[in-house]
A and B are shown apart, each in its own frame.
Chain A
């Protein structure tokens, strides 16, 4: 008995150590630094709530957090709609496993290039004299180039959706593939139509996949700063940009305080989502 618990502990040890050193300790460090003070050049160890006071006292913080939630919510809704549709098509419309795998790999091909490249390549496409605008003009859809295509919230969300839809497709596809086909047959035999099967059988059974995809997308969008900077032409801000601005100006304690607040916010969001779906139970 004793021996068994010991070997269990030993087996868990490597992962525990890695997590402690590379996850827990850095986070503790960030929390500690968030109470320090900074002048223009130096960081002074202290226990001071100034960083938090400034953060919560400025209405910019609230606006920026609101903006971050806005990006996360819209991106989540779009990636879910697109990701679910793609996964549904792959899992239920494509008949053979070979084609399923082939088409799934096709979805992943764009992800072989760098994130940044995929994002930046939108800039010439959407620009005032870009391909999108010249096509629209030649079709006679618009007379003047459309400005809101680039350097706008539209561009930011477009890039987010493009970058992160796959993170929705993969877990949803995975759970859909495990759905027992006989359940669908049974539903059909019991007289359910296609929409009813989707709503009462498939969606409830893919919830864990949806939830995993949601966690990916929401955390990625809320933590991003570079997409917002490039696609909005530096005109919009999210929390990530506040942090990166602080770091650029050597205000590490203030950056750490913002990071702590962001981390807590994201944890609360994920905590709420997990109350609706128990991933462990349903996996």
Chain B
């Protein structure tokens, strides 16, 4: 026989009332302040400003850890409980996704899904575009279902990563120290710049830059730069080893800051570089161009993935964060550094007409363009290197990739560094 006394009755009743009348949103609002999401990723988008704004707009805490690409891959693959949100690149996703450490995301919960640019959905920037070589984001962007560890070609409704940031990379040059136009990737190995060139010491990206150079020199045309055979790897690294022995390179760089210092100090006049590094050199008042080249760009894209162990309130908060991410403020913040947002049109609301014209449409600036941190980057009348979004993203020659022969390539890369 169950005893029902006044106390238990009251308790149960109160809980029932709370559950029915106050409802979820109230509980949400109460608890969300206690939620802390741990995000890690490469330095590009792990910005404290984003964490601060999240606290302001959404109320919960975002802890950010910035690591280099190798460490990011390692951590995503081996320590799934050490993070809630992985801010990784698509080629890293190709390596990490099969481990099952990330969970598929339901695109019906993503408010701006329909506005995400085509590159991340069917691979086509415009309906006439062709798809570049390498690990194009849409090829690893979708999985078969909530528990999928595979990749599917079509828009299945389950995304591996929600795209957040991407750009088209090329060589950076010091126009004042070179003094003539640079139009081809092959210039990196031009003896004219002996002892004044540099390439990045991150094997998976460096090999792609090398391939662009080799192809531009007319030495070899790759069937797929993003997936080389052993012979192709030997050939590519062989050409660069010879150049290294001849003293072509001043140094190799591994971190963003190193590339900025090499360029700003004039140690190097031509090198592989990332867009914000150019911005950083320019903001010191030193001329630096992100040189568009005839062969096209080497492009990359990043996105946010959720840890497989994320559930309940934390997962709701993470979706909230993703929706906020695509809502425009972050997009504007990133675009004003030279990156692109996955949903450019929402970012427009957070940029001035001048900024939008300069960064996205490739129009001459009508007034001074400043970085989000207040440094002037361009004066009125100047245009962005490479032009508009469609000009730049429309001439992508290859995407950052991970090859089948990755381990072999890494060993060869180590030999190149030791040579």
Contact = CB atoms under 8 A, between A and B. Distances in A.
B95 interface: yes
A245 B407 CA distance: 13
Task: Tell me the dominant secondary structure on chain B's binding face.
Answer: helix
Contact of A233 (B70, B250, B266, B407): B250
Q: How large is the interface on B (under 10, 10 to 19, 20 to 34, 35 or more residues)?
A: 20 to 34
Contact of B266 (A123, A129, A248): A129
Nearest to B96: A41
Contacts of B261: 123
Interface stretch (A78-86, A134-142, A234-242): A234-242
A63 B416 CA distance: 12
Contacts of B311: none
B418 A41 contact: no
Contacts of B407: 40
A229 B68 CA distance: 16
B74, B77, B251, B415 interface centre (most CB from chain A within 10 Å): B251
Interface in B38-83: 68, 70-71, 73-74, 77-78
B284 interface: no
Interface in A118-172: 123-124, 127-130, 147, 150-151
B364 interface: no
B5 to A, nearest CB: 57
A60 B237 CA distance: 14
A41 B99 contact: yes
Interface in A72-93: none
A266 interface: no
Contacts of B252: 233-235
Contacts of B73: 250
Contacts of A151: 250-251, 267
Contacts of B74: 248, 250
Nearest to A238: B418
A130, A232, A235, A250 interface centre (most CB from chain B within 10 Å): A235
B71 A235 contact: no
A177 interface: no
Contacts of B78: 41-42, 250
B174 interface: no
Contact of A248 (B70, B96, B419): B70
A229 B190 CA distance: 25
B417 interface: yes
Given A60-B414, A249-B410, A234 B265 contact: no
Given A63-B418, A249-B410, A147 B249 contact: no
A233 B251 contact: yes
B253 interface: yes
B70 to A, nearest CB: 4
B145 interface: no
21 contacts: A40-B95, A41-B77, A41-B78, A41-B95, A41-B96, A60-B418, A63-B418, A123-B261, A124-B265, A127-B266, A128-B267, A129-B265, A151-B267, A229-B254, A233-B198, A233-B249, A233-B252, A235-B244, A242-B414, A242-B418, A250-B78
Closest 9 CB pairs of A and B: A233-B251, A234-B252, A237-B418, A41-B77, A248-B70, A151-B251, A60-B415, A234-B201, A60-B418
Given A234-B252, A242-B418, A248-B71, 20 more contacts: A40-B77, A40-B406, A40-B407, A41-B78, A63-B418, A123-B261, A124-B265, A127-B267, A128-B265, A147-B195, A147-B250, A229-B254, A233-B249, A234-B417, A241-B417, A241-B418, A245-B414, A245-B417, A249-B70, A250-B78
Interface of A: 40-42, 58, 60, 63-64, 67, 123-124, 127-130, 147, 150-151, 229, 232-237, 241-242, 245, 248-250
